[in-house]
Structure 1
Amino acid sequence: MADDLAEHAVLDLTCALIARHSLTPDDAGCCALIGERLARLGFTLESIDAGGVTNLWATRGSGAPLLILAGHTDVVPPGPRGDWLSDPFVPDIRDGVLYGRGAADMKSGLAAMVVAVERLLARRAPHPTVGAADGPPLSPLRGARDEGRQPAAAAAISGTLAFLITSDEEGAAKHGTRHVVEVLKARGIRPDYAIVGEATAAEQLGDRITIGRRGSLGCNLRVLGRQGHVAYPEKADNPIHRLAPALAELSAEVWDRGNAHFPPTSFQISNIHGGTGASNVIPGHVDLIFNFRFCTESSAEDLKARVSDILDRHGLRYEADWWLSGEPFLTREAELVAAARAAIADVTGIADPLLFTGGGTSDARFLAPWGAQTVEIGPVNDSIHKVNEHVRVADLERLSRIYEGTLDRLL
């Protein structure tokens, strides 16, 4: 019966979060909903909002270790409504599968984390704790004591447990986790562990633990020429012709050879545009957007310098606007990875999950450089950002148990 109630709790909270139209960077009340649950457990809540982004920092306990559960409430646009089998913001269960925008990325992860903490504290508390559904809602910005009720027993964990939740992961990611980390750094706060609830499993829950990510470095490049008539090329300077050999060299360059944990750094052109649309005009400039996904064998500064060397060697006049989305990181196999492995084995029977460093970027790129051992563990990711995004209902409870088992071993 307890397991049935636990599964129902994760599913209910996931559905409640999916029902909120939290298109990035709009949180749409998700943090308030989660904050009410955490306040009843004795968490101190703080809003660290910036630039129209909702950020919740919630802590319980004191001292080391500091373990952060991190995630985002924002989702990407669902696309055409007619392409979905059901309304993307009305959670729908069919054949044991929950459908809705954010079901996998990553409202189920957040719900599983919250319920994992509720269950962990209830199990460890010397007296019964206040249930998540007991009593009237609490203010998301005030702890349980502000309402005249006592929180769960404060001695239920050793160390400090925290939630860092943002509504700016799917967007620019400038005012979300990145901002909160800088604020907390300035206070002298440094975490020991961080678990991000991103959807990371490939085929079945628990088959992968993400222990690192490649860095992402992008550039808007404009190569300058001189506009003119195609019949008088001697009076013009065609930037497309000038760029072509440099582009061939950039595409063929071996930036590094990777290492045991990462594939080699890749250079990819995503956009190129030149010309006025007329067939008889040599353009005055050509615009290019490219991206590096780089491993720990390269640095952003080194890659920028090498690109500049190639462009300069070909005599190009150009303007380069670089942006760094995140540095690469790798979490060593230590306490956090060991705890996650053991929890996954207990819940799923998978004794040797793949330690993964692929995929895109996540907010782990801001947490790992802060000094935390950082991993990402979440549901199967094959439907994220797609039409009919979904998660297996049975995986919700099992994911929550994985989080609970990991916390149990570390706190």
Structure 2
Amino acid sequence: MATLTSLTRDLVSIPSHDDEAAAGKSIRQWLETNTDARVTRDDHGNVIARKGQGDTSLALVGHHDVVPPDGSQVDTDGEYVVEERDGRLYGRGTADMKGCVAAAMLAFRDADPASELVFASFVGEEQGGVGCQAAIEDGFAPDYAVVGEGSTGYSGDGVTDVAVAHKGRRGSTIVAEGAAAHASEPEAGANAIYRATDAVDMVRDLDFPETTVLGHDLRGSVAVTEIDGGSAWNVIPEHCEATVDERTVPGERAPLDRVEAIDGVTWRVDQDLPPMACSDAEFADTVLNAATAAQDGAPEHVVKPHATDAGWLAQAGTDCVIVGAAEPGEAHTADESVSLDVLERCREVYERIAEAWPSH
């Protein structure tokens, strides 16, 4: 029988940055072999399994795609390198987030659920949550979800907390158009860089969006991160663009469209990853109780700065929390790793909440 370490190692060893098919096939086959659940792998590559019955559904959610590996994380045959040392497993996807996918698979297998229990591992999370969005469009709609992204080390070193909210990200572009002219006669043209910088000044003066989720403050941010314009040192620029990174919070957005009041300026949204906020305090407390029972530390409700698939689920009506083994700064690195003890802790949390919720 597979252990959590061996199952994680197996999943991490499967390359899934360009194509998630092999990893999805492996997850589906394991669930079909080791559970009596109803298992599907949809046309998008998402793996979804269901067991138990009831009026309420709880999903254990993860993703099996990863970002491209560092050269040190791939061997000469193109396979992912997985190493175990000092109680940690090293390799691309260990922390983000095949370790917690494996933990959720074992919890799903072993739990005697209080209602319908769903396991879901999505594709395309690293591409903006395209797999999760596709599943929602196809009717995926659990009432509650525990998403296995990182929540360890927020309230204290080594403590696995329960994230009840996270920021979203809206990436957008300010586009300024002008009219070219020779730089010796600037009044003959319309300087697109000046128009863009006027817009940048407006962005700089905007208040950051903020809100409160279950008593916790969540504050967003707005920042201009790139600017590009002009064609030559002696030409008045006719085109200039500025990139804006906005970290959004539930229910609040910065009024970036105000820049369009400037002559020649338009504003374009390029990406909009939604924030997440849990609105069910009882569910959040029940998960916190499960996390407390599974560790010696004292976990807390916390907020995350990063967008996850929980945002898409929350936007569709699912109450979400995040519980996972990854620590801040661990994902996407050349020495990505995960604590095996914390993975075991997460597996226990998932199983406990599956058997405790709904509580009545």
Fold match, TM over 0.5? yes
- Tell me, what secondary structure is at the counterpart of 1:367? helix
Q: Which residue of 1 aligns with 2:82?
A: 91
- Pick one of 31, 37, 41 that aligns with 2:35: 41
Question: For 1:375 and 1:117, how far apart are their aligned partners in 2?
Answer: 17
Q: Which residue of 2 aligns with 1:373?
A: 319
Instruction: Give the conservation status (yes or no) of the 8 Å contact 2:14–2:80.
Output: yes
Question: For 2:93 and 2:164, how far apart are their aligned partners in 1?
Answer: 23
Question: For 1:318 and 1:238, how far apart are their aligned partners in 2?
Answer: 12
Decide whether aligned partners of structure 1 residues 168 and 242 sit closer, same or farther in structure 2, where only a CA change above 3 A counts: same
* Residue 298 of structure 1, CA deviation: 1.4
Structure 1: runs of 5+ lacking an equivalent: 121-155
Map 1:149-160 → 2, pairs under 5 A: 156-160=112-116
Decide whether aligned partners of structure 1 residues 321 and 257 sit closer, same or farther in structure 2, where only a CA change above 3 A counts: closer
- Is 1:171 aligned to residue 171 of structure 2? no
* Residue 330 of structure 1, CA deviation: 1.3
Instruction: Give the conservation status (yes or no) of the 8 Å contact 1:21–1:28.
Output: no
Decide whether aligned partners of structure 1 residues 179 and 103 sit closer, same or farther in structure 2, where only a CA change above 3 A counts: same
Question: For 1:338 and 1:261, how far apart are their aligned partners in 2?
Answer: 14
* Residue 340 of structure 1, CA deviation: 1.6
Q: Which residue of 2 aligns with 1:147?
A: none
Amino acid at match of 1:106: M
Map 1:73-152 → 2, pairs under 5 A: 73-81=64-72, 89-120=80-111
Decide whether aligned partners of structure 1 residues 170 and 69 sit closer, same or farther in structure 2, where only a CA change above 3 A counts: same
Task: With the length of structure 1 as denominator, give the TM-score of the two structures.
Answer: 0.79
Instruction: Give the conservation status (yes or no) of the 8 Å contact 2:259–2:266.
Output: no
Q: Which residue of 2 aligns with 1:142?
A: none
Q: Which has the higher strand share?
A: 2
* Residue 369 of structure 1, CA deviation: 2.4
Q: Which residue of 2 aligns with 1:201?
A: 152
Decide whether aligned partners of structure 1 residues 80 and 280 sit closer, same or farther in structure 2, where only a CA change above 3 A counts: farther
Aligned residue pairs, count: 350
- Tell me, what secondary structure is at the counterpart of 1:348? coil
Instruction: Give the conservation status (yes or no) of the 8 Å contact 2:113–2:354.
Output: no
Instruction: Give the conservation status (yes or no) of the 8 Å contact 2:195–2:264.
Output: no
Once the two structures are superposed, residues 30-71 of structure 1 have per-residue CA deviations (whole angstroms, 9 ceiling, x without a partner) of 222222232231111222223xxx112221123322111111
Question: For 1:375 and 1:368, how far apart are their aligned partners in 2?
Answer: 10
Q: Which protein has the larger Cα radius of gyration, Structure 1 or Structure 2?
A: 1
Q: Report the identity percentage.
A: 27
Q: Which residue of 2 aligns with 1:21?
A: 15
Task: With the length of structure 2 as denominator, give the TM-score of the two structures.
Answer: 0.89
Root mean square deviation of aligned Cα? 2.4
- Is 1:407 aligned to residue 358 of structure 2? no
Q: Which residue of 2 aligns with 1:133?
A: none
Amino acid at match of 1:17: L
Instruction: Give the conservation status (yes or no) of the 8 Å contact 1:79–1:387.
Output: yes
Instruction: Give the conservation status (yes or no) of the 8 Å contact 2:8–2:102.
Output: yes
- Tell me, what secondary structure is at the counterpart of 1:29? helix
Decide whether aligned partners of structure 1 residues 19 and 83 sit closer, same or farther in structure 2, where only a CA change above 3 A counts: closer
Amino acid at match of 1:219: S
* Residue 197 of structure 1, CA deviation: 0.8
Q: Which residue of 1 aligns with 2:59?
A: 68
Instruction: Give the conservation status (yes or no) of the 8 Å contact 2:87–2:340.
Output: yes
